[in-house]
Structures are given as structure tokens and as C-alpha cells.
Amino acid sequence: MSEQSPGKGSGQLAGGGRMLAGWGRTAPTVATTRRVADGAAEVAELVRRAGPRGLVARGLGRSYGDPAQNAGGEVLLPLPTRIEHEPDGRPGTVRVSAGTSLHDLMAELLPRGRFVPVTPGTRYVTVGGCVACDVHGKSHHVAGSFGRHVVSLELVLADGSVHEVGPDRDPELFWATVGGMGLTGVITSAVLRTIPVESSWMTVTTTRHPDLDSVMEEMRTGDRDVTYSVAWIDTLARGRSLGRSVLTRGEHARRDELDTSAAARPLVAPGGARLRVPPGVPGGLVRPLTVRGFNEAWFRRAPRHRTGELQPLAAFFHPLDGVADWNRLYGPRGFVQYQCVVPDRAADTVALVVDRVARQGHASFLSVLKRFGPGDEAPLSFPMPGWTLALDLPARAGLAPLLDELDRLVAAVGGRVYLAKDARLDPARLPQMYPRLADFRSVRRRVDPTGVFRSDLARRLGL
Amino acid sequence: MINALGRPQTVLLLGGTSEIAQAVVAAWARTCRPLVVLAARPGPRRDAAAAHVESLGLEVEVVDFDAERTEEHPALIDAVSREHDIDVAIVAFGVLGDEEQAWQDHAAATRLARVNYTGAVSVGVCLADVMRRQGHGMIVALSSVAGERVRRSNFVYGSTKAGMDGFYLGLGEALRGSGAGVLVVRPGFVRTRMTAGRSPAPLSVTAEQVADAVVRGVARRDELIWVPAPLRGVMSGLRHVPRPLFRRLPL
């Protein structure tokens, strides 16, 4: 089981309502939560009985903003973990309940020499959430996003009917559900393709880059030859050091690459969080000064160039999962993650964005830069070929106009922001960033004409 | 919805012709485009206020509202909430009256009480009901330092604000955990139409300063703010000044 209960940053209230917030803890609202014990039939019944403010499913509450909140309405808590290996005799696939976390799934897969096809920066996310957000990972440039690896989905629609959809079965509804932020129906289970691995270790190459140009050039030329690649940028560095970064690349280690201690336990599941932010820790530790110090130390600590370092899988993919509740370090006012993507031809915009943030002195802990490969057919899917940058920014005065300005820069070059991270986009900008929004809406009108599936995100952006 | 950085999408102005309410809307218009539901008595002042909101580039809906006709409030606020989530409601109506007339003229005194206190309680109850059902929202109650320690010079007005202030502080407590919140705003002397002709007290502010503080308070989900902020210290001192001394102060 995962160590983390659903809906961190939330609390049960008298009267059945429950305060729910996203991982950024910025805009909590109250909904009636429903725990689902079984499967699609029970979900279908809850969907049929949904009240006037509708319903949305929630996983582990790791979306930064409000897609898994439904103020005044109902929120379904994740279905229990269920994993079936090789359903229908198809090798390398699993059927999992939508509430299964990637943490639990890895624990099942790794001893069998398999791994999840795509993992975001935390494994405390559910499979249902991974589909609904069409998540991507450090391998997007070669593996694409999560939706590409889904064989089929079991989906409860607004009328309570249960459907099996896939790229070959009602593809229109399938792709609207991938990246659809839970608004086409409740995903109750998914069949996924997994990938083979020889070990639960990674061979990692780390290089330090003095500025943005250097790291982007390296990623532009070298990423195609590696499976996993990500750069961590110090967004507070200015001037000639603007965009200085540490590029980390990895491959699943082969058995013959393991040293003796790793070889003794080649296939182990990642453990739980070792640290927890104590309840008494004051909020607001994330300030420009502390972040500057941390980023400096972190940059200096990284080796200039090191190849072939063996790292446990969790350390490579999910360094922050080692500290439970790290979001609380941002204090009660929370934080916003700004993740945008710009096409290849607009690489300059990445530098513009980093420059704007550095100039304004908004403190972002180590920000993440990645190259995306081709996107998929999902109308609301975030990735497109190009560059994606993610910044964690404390919610404080002056942030709103800065992010509005970044939106303008990003939208002007045909880029967009990620809805799984968004908490503040101007709804008027959405159609520009997601030109296929109309396709999504038309599917939604077909399968949910009365708007049973609703969320705070949907209300806020008029999805 | 109020987004992560405190920007609302729908704002209900109860007492929509109030200069402070208008200034708050103007402050938001600089950063976002909320729909404004302007609730006030019909007439040229309301028309002018609606035109002002439109001139800010915002969409405006006008509804009939009279603070004294409390029996109409539940249906009115319910009707607004059926059309839109009320992200922020600003309780901005109030009358000041003539201080010396107020305590000697029965009609003037009871009108002050009806508008400033009874009317405020009436809409507060209705808004709380709506926001609990919504699971989110913020009620901004424009109180006054006059209610913090009631002075001889305007005690009828001050007493209505003291009552109103206490009601909304309590409402905020009662709504804790419901998703809805209450922000009580205690401005000092605000130089507006309502106070025209009176000589400004120390630490007086403009409607724009109050508006900026409200916008910031909503974004921070504050519960109580003073405008200007130093008033908090001043008033907490004045609150404890013994009565014989207090009456001699030039307040």
C-alpha cells in the first residue's frame, strides 16, 4: 500500500463535507466525498445519483491545482488497488484499478522485471490520474506520454453505463478521456503495456552546464540517444549564469552493469518516504534567500561530469518522494507550479521565461527543463514537440501579473500550459493554447450533455 | 471560482453604488475580468455605477436591492446564485447620517440601524447559506474603525458598525471549514461622497486604498484587515483608554 492517504492537505468536516485542495494548497473548497469500495457498478450507481453540482474522481491529490476538487458537489475517492497481470493472456500488460498508485504498481512489476511505461516526478499518483492528465516523464522524447501505452480503459459515463474504450474502440471518446481531466467519465480501470527492465537500478550520467544555451544545445543533440533526460535549472541565477543547470540522464541498468551490492538485490521495489515534514514546521520557508542558497549548494554539489553512476530507481525518478508532505514547506498560502511547453522553433522563449522569473526574483526551487517528442491525438493533452519548463513558485503578491506575462509569451509562439498544474490561467487564453478544445467539448456534449462531471478546474476555465 | 492567486470570476456588490465597492471592482479590472452583479436601488446612481463598471471593460448585471427590505433578500440572493457561483460578495451598503440628528430623531436612528445592522445581518445569513452550498466563496464585510470603540461623536453609526462587525466576525467563525470565508474590513476615515464636508481624521484613506487592501485580503484569504494597517495598533490602544480620559480625547 502507498504511504500517502488520498487528499493530503484536506480534512474531514462535520456534516460530511471535506475540504480538498490540490498539491499546491492554493484554493481549497469543500465537497462531499464518496469512498468507493468496489468497482464500476458502484461507481455507476454514484454517478446516477450525482447531485446538481456534479461529481469528479480524485486520486492521490497530486495535481497542483483544482482538477480533483468539486466545490459543493461530490468527489469520488480512489478505488482500491487491484492489479491483474497479463489479462486476456497478453504478455507485458496489466489490468489495474484506476485508484492504483504507480508506487504500488512498481512494487508489483519490478520483481517480475517490468516497469511502468511512463512515470512523472512522483510515484504517488494513480493510474486514473495518469490517464486523465496524460502525464509525461523524463522519457517523453522517446516514449511519449501515458496515453500512448494504454490498451483500453473502463469508463463509467454520465448515464451510469459502463464502456470499454481504447485507441481502436470509440477512439474519439478514448482520446478525449486521455488528458480529459476526468470530465468525460470516471475511469475505473485500465489495461496498460509495461516495459521490461533487467534491474531496479539506473545508470546515470550527470553534467553541469554554466548557462541555458549550453544545456539546451546538449539536449538538442544528445537526447535522442538516451531514454531518460531532464535538466534542473537554477532560475535565480542571472546574467551570464542565466539558466545554469544540471543535466541528468539515465538508462535502466542491465544486470551486467550492477556492482556487487546492487547485484545482490537487482529487482527491488522503491520504499516509502523516509522523511516527513513535522507538523510544527513553520510555513513560508521557501523564500528567495533560502531558495538561492539551496540552488547554489545544489548546483555546486553536482559533479561537472560523471557517467555510469548507479542509482536506485526512486532516487533517479522521484527524488522528492523521499520527503512526505514537502508541499507544506511553502506555508499556508501554498504555491503554484507553472509548467509550459513551447515548440522547437521557439526555443528562445524558454530563455525569455527564465529571464523574466530571474529578474523578478520569484523564488523557484530547482526548475525542470525537458525536451518533448511528438504529442498524441488527445485534444487536451499537454505535450507537443519542443521544450517544457516547470517552475514551482510560492503564491505571493506579484506572481499573478508575472504568470500572465509568461502566458502571453508562451501563447504567442503556439505554446501552452499544463492543466494538471494550472491553478490560475485566464480562461480567455485557453482556446489559443488548446486549439482542439472544441473537439473535446463536442465529445463531452455527446457523452455528458447535462454536465454530470464537473470540477473546480472545469468551472474556472469553462472546459 | 476564485483562482489560486485570488482572482474571482463573479463578484456580487450589495450596495453597488458605493464608492468603495466601485473602487474594488476597478482594482480587479486591472488584473482580471470578473462578472459584476451590481445590486442597488434603481435610479440614476445605479445607472451611473453600472456604466462605470462597463467602462472598466467588465460585464455587468444589475439587480434591484434595497438594504431595508430584508424580506426580499433571501429570494434575491438565491436568484443570483442560481445563475452564477458567487465567488465574492461585498457587503458595501451603509449610511452615515447626521451624527447629532441620529440619536435625537427616531426615524433617523432606526433607519441607520435597519440599513447598517439589520440589512447587513440579513444579507449575511443569505450569503452564508449560498456559499455553504457552493463549498467556496468569500464574503467581504465593509465595517469601520468607528465600531471598534464607539465614540460619543458618532455613536449611533458606530454602534451599528460595532454590531455588524461582530456579526461578520462570528459568521466567519461559523463558516470555518465550509469552504466559505469572511473578510472583515475596518477602514479608518475614508474620503468619499459619504464623508464629504467632514474634516478627515488622522490616518484617513481613499476608496482606492481600501480597494487594494480588499483585493489583497481576498487573495490571502484574510479574516480581518485594517486600512491603513497601522490603525490596528492605534485602535487596540484606544480601546483600552479609560472612559473619563477617552471622552476628553479630540476624537
**Residue B51 to residues A187, B22, B57, B194: CA-CA distances in angstroms?**
48, 11, 10, 20
Contact A73 B7 (CB under 8 A): no
**Residue B35 to residues A108, A401, B11, B183: CA-CA distances in angstroms?**
51, 20, 6, 20
Helix (H) or strand (E) holding A391: strand A386-394
**Residue A401 to residues A362, A396, B8: CA-CA distances in angstroms?**
12, 11, 15
Prediction pTM value? 0.94
Contact B33 A428 (CB under 8 A): yes
CA A423-A425-A431 angle, 5° bins? 130
Domain limits, chain B: 10-247
Q: Please, what is the average pLDDT of chain B?
A: 95
Which positions in chain A touch B133 (Cβ < 8 Å)?
72
- Exposure class string for A63-91: b at 16+ Cβ within 10 A, else e: bbbbbbbbbbbbbbbbbebeeeeeeeeee
Pull the grid cell for residue B30.
Answer: 486591472
In this predicted structure, what is the pLDDT of residue A4?
Answer: 43
Pull the grid cell for residue B1.
Answer: 471560482
Number of helices and strands in chain A (H, E): 14, 22
Domain limits, chain A: 83-197, 201-429
- Residue B202, pLDDT > 80, answer no
- Shortest CA gap A213–chain B (Å): 32
The architecture of the domain spanning B10-247 is: 3-Layer(aba) Sandwich (3.40)
Predicted confidence pLDDT, tens digits, chain A (463 residues): 334 444 444 454 545 699 999 999 999 999 999 999 888 999 999 999 999 999 999 999 999 999 999 999 999 999 899 999 999 999 999 999 999 999 999 999 999 999 999 999 999 999 999 999 999 999 999 999 999 999 999 999 999 999 999 999 999 999 999 999 999 999 999 999 999 999 999 999 999 999 999 999 999 999 999 999 999 999 888 889 989 999 999 999 999 999 999 999 999 999 887 788 777 676 667 777 788 888 888 888 888 889 989 999 999 999 888 888 888 888 888 999 999 999 999 999 999 999 998 888 787 877 999 999 999 999 999 999 999 999 999 998 889 999 999 999 999 999 999 999 999 999 999 999 999 999 999 999 999 999 999 999 999 999 9
Cα B33 to the center of its chain, rounded Å: 21
Contact B134 A333 (CB under 8 A): no
**Residue B7 to residues B4, B28, B209: CA-CA distances in angstroms?**
7, 8, 18
Task: Give the CA dihedral B77, B81, B86, B90, nearest 10 degrees.
Answer: -10
- Residue B180, pLDDT > 90, answer yes
In this predicted structure, what is the pLDDT of residue A196?
Answer: 98
Dihedral sign, Cα of residue A231, residue A232, residue A234, residue A235: positive
Looking at 3.30.70.2520, 2.30.40.10, 3.10.20.90, 2.60.120.260, the CATH number of the domain A201-429 comes to 3.30.70.2520
Q: Which of B117, B157, B167, B189 is catalytic?
A: B157
B211: CB partners within 8 A, 6+ apart: B20, B23, B24, B26, B27
In this predicted structure, what is the pLDDT of residue B221?
Answer: 94
Is A201-429 in the same CATH topology as A83-197? no
- Shortest CA gap A423–chain B (Å): 5
For residues A426 and B7, the answer to whether their CB atoms sit within 8 Å is no
- Shortest CA gap B173–chain A (Å): 14
Q: Which of A66, A73, A401 sits opposite B31 (nearest CB)?
A: A401
**Quick one: residue A88, left, alpha or beta (phi over 0 = left, psi -120 to 50 = alpha)?**
left
Beta-ladder partners of A335 = A394
| Residue B201 to residue B190: CA distance in whole angstroms | 9
Mutate to test the interface with A, among B2, B5, B222 (most CBs of A within 10 A): B5
Which positions in chain A touch B177 (Cβ < 8 Å)?
11, 13-14, 17, 19, 30
| Residue A346 to residue A362: CA distance in whole angstroms | 23
A20: CB partners within 8 A, 6+ apart: A7, A9, A10, A28, A29, A30, A31, A33, A58, A61, A68, A69, A75
Which positions in chain B touch A30 (Cβ < 8 Å)?
135-136, 177-179
Other beta carbons within 10 Å of B26: 18
Contact B4 A26 (CB under 8 A): yes
Beta-strand pair A195-196/A323-324: unpaired
Phi, psi of A53 (to 5 degrees): -100, 10
- Shortest CA gap B164–chain A (Å): 26
Cα A311 to the center of its chain, rounded Å: 22
Helix (H) or strand (E) holding B60: strand B60-64
Helix (H) or strand (E) holding A412: helix A399-412
Q: Among A11-25, A214-228, B163-177, B183-197, which is the least confidently predicted range?
A: A11-25
Q: Which of A28, A336, A399 sits opposite B179 (nearest CB)?
A: A28
Pull the grid cell for residue B236.
Answer: 487596540
Tell whether B206 lies on the interface with A, counting CB pairs under 8 A. Answer: no
Dihedral sign, Cα of residue A165, residue A167, residue A168, residue A170: positive
What integer is the mean pLDDT of B212-235?
95
Q: Which of A11, A395, A426 sits opposite B4 (nearest CB)?
A: A395
Tell whether A289 lies on the interface with B, counting CB pairs under 8 A. Answer: no
For residues A187 and A173, the answer to whether their CB atoms sit within 8 Å is no
Beta-strand pair B224-227/B180-187: parallel
Which positions in chain B touch A424 (Cβ < 8 Å)?
3-5, 7
Residue of chain B with shortest Cα separation from A462 = B1
Residue of chain B with shortest Cα separation from A460 = B1
Mutate to test the interface with A, among B1, B175, B222, B225 (most CBs of A within 10 A): B1
The two most distant CA atoms of chain B are separated, in Å, by 54
Q: What is the DSSP letter of A82?
A: -
Beta-ladder partners of B187 = B227
Contact B4 A65 (CB under 8 A): yes
Q: Which residues 366-405 in chain A show a CB within 8 A of chain B?
A: 395, 397, 399-401, 403-404
ipTM rounded to 2 decimals:
0.93
Q: DSSP letters along A36-49, please?
A: --S-HHHHHHHHHT
Tell whether B79 lies on the interface with A, counting CB pairs under 8 A. Answer: no
Q: DSSP letters along chain B, please?
A: ---TTS--SEEEEETTT-HHHHHHHHHHHTT---EEEEEE-SSHHHHHHHHHHHHTT--EEEEE--TT-GGGHHHHHHHHHHHS--SEEEE-------HHHHTT-HHHHHHHIIIIIIIHHHHHHHHHHHHHHHT-EEEEEE--GGGTS--GGGHHHHHHHHHHHHHHHHHHHHTTTSSEEEEEEEE-SEESGGGTTSPPPTT-EEHHHHHHHHHHHHHTT-SEEEESTTHHHHHHHHTTS-HHHHTTS--
Judge if the upstream peptide bond of residue B228 is cis by omega within 30 degrees of 0: yes
What integer is the mean pLDDT of B43-57?
98
Identify residue A86 by its one-letter amino acid code.
Answer: E
Contact B1 A336 (CB under 8 A): no
Tell whether A73 lies on the interface with B, counting CB pairs under 8 A. Answer: yes
Q: What is the DSSP letter of B244?
A: H
Tell whether A20 lies on the interface with B, counting CB pairs under 8 A. Answer: no
Contact A456 B1 (CB under 8 A): yes
Pull the grid cell for residue A197.
Answer: 527492465
Pull the grid cell for residue B111.
Answer: 433607519
The architecture of the domain spanning A83-197 is: 2-Layer Sandwich (3.30)
- Shortest CA gap A291–chain B (Å): 21
Pull the grid cell for residue A432.
Answer: 489559443
- Exposure class string for A222-236: b at 16+ Cβ within 10 A, else e: ebeebbbbbbbbbbb
| Residue B117 falls in the annotated catalytic set | no
Q: What is the pLDDT of residues B33-48, one digit of tens each?
A: 999 999 999 999 999 9
Contact A65 B9 (CB under 8 A): no
Pull the grid cell for residue A260.
Answer: 556487487
